[in-house]
């Protein structure tokens, strides 16, 4: 009930702004912090004077390092999800229903971090690789997120009854129909989307996002040490 209420009372303009504006603001913020010492005036001057600044702000999602990093983490997490022992926890979802979930994401995250440090120590890659290519990884994650959202939306719509869906389009105003699409894309059409036996929401949040953040922190520390010769606060 809470889920539906939240969807129907959210302004469409706000949802469109968040969907379209949040990624751009994220990359603008990262560029201003990394290249302009977080100075807005310096950022505007650089935006006006440099010709290739747009590419620097919005990097290509097709970087080979970003693809390899994300693919490697995803495959490791899938393997750990299947083979590691699991704890069973009971949670209450937003509908007020109790659900039992097998979890081992924390152990998986620790193992991925240890493997990352171990691989860099063996010389397979520089430990600063995540930090250096962070914006490319974020760019790729944005593209992957859009693809997943569209896939889940289309899959859910295909499950709806065709007659009811057609009737809904005929008797409803087009503006309301478009607002419903925007709301579904923003909030999702399923509380717990599943692909085979994998809880997609849990997998992305706890196994991908919460693994990337500590990897980014560790990688930035290594970059700081290699650049300054010591950890510089």
Q: What is the pLDDT of residue 88?
A: 80
Domain ranges of the chain: 1-58, 60-228
d(CA 38, CA 45): 13
Q: Show the low-confidence residues of the chain (pLDDT under 50).
A: 1-6, 8, 161, 163, 165-174
Give the pLDDT score at 182: 60
Residue 129: burial class (beta carbons within 10 Å; 0-12, 13-18, 19+): buried
Ramachandran region of residue 203, left (φ > 0), alpha (ψ -120 to 50) or beta?
A: alpha
- Count of C-beta atoms within a 10 Å radius of residue 26: 14
Query: pLDDT, tens digit, for every residue of 182-228?
Result: 666 656 666 677 777 777 878 888 889 889 999 999 999 998 888 77
pLDDT at residue 171, rounded to an integer: 45
Percent of the chain beyond pLDDT 70?
67
CA contacts within 13 A on the Cβ side of 79 = 8
Main-chain dihedrals φ then ψ at residue 100, nearest 5 degrees: -100, 125
| DSSP summary character for residue 165 | H
Q: How far apart are CA 147 and CA 153, in angstroms?
A: 10
- pLDDT tens, 65-77? 999 999 999 999 9
> According to the model, what pLDDT value does residue 20 have?
67
What global pTM score does this model have? 0.70
Q: What is the pLDDT of residue 178?
A: 53
């Amino acid at each position: 009930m809470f889920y539906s209420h939240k969807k129907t009372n959210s302004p469409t303009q706000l949802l469109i702004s968040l969907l379209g504006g949040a990624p751009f603001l994220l990359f603008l913020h990262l560029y201003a912090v990394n290249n302009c010492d977080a100075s807005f005036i310096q950022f505007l001057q650089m935006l006006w004077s440099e010709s290739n600044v747009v590419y620097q702000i919005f990097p290509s999602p097709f970087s080979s390092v970003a693809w390899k990093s994300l693919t490697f983490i995803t495959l490791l997490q899938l393997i750990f999800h299947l083979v590691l022992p699991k704890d069973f926890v009971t949670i209450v979802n937003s509908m007020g229903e109790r659900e039992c979930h097998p979890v081992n994401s924390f152990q998986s995250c620790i193992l991925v971090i240890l493997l990352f440090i171990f691989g860099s120590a063996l010389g397979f890659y520089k430990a600063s690789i995540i930090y250096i290519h962070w914006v490319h990884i974020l760019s790729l994650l944005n593209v992957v997120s859009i693809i997943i959202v569209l896939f889940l939306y289309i899959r859910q719509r295909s499950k709806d009854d065709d007659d009811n869906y057609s009737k809904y389009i005929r008797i409803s105003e087009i503006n309301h129909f478009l607002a419903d699409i925007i709301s579904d894309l923003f909030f999702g059409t399923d509380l717990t989307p599943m692909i085979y036996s994998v809880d997609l929401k849990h997998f992305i949040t706890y196994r991908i996002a919460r693994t990337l953040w500590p990897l980014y922190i560790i990688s930035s520390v290594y970059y700081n040490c290699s650049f300054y010769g010591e950890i510089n606060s």
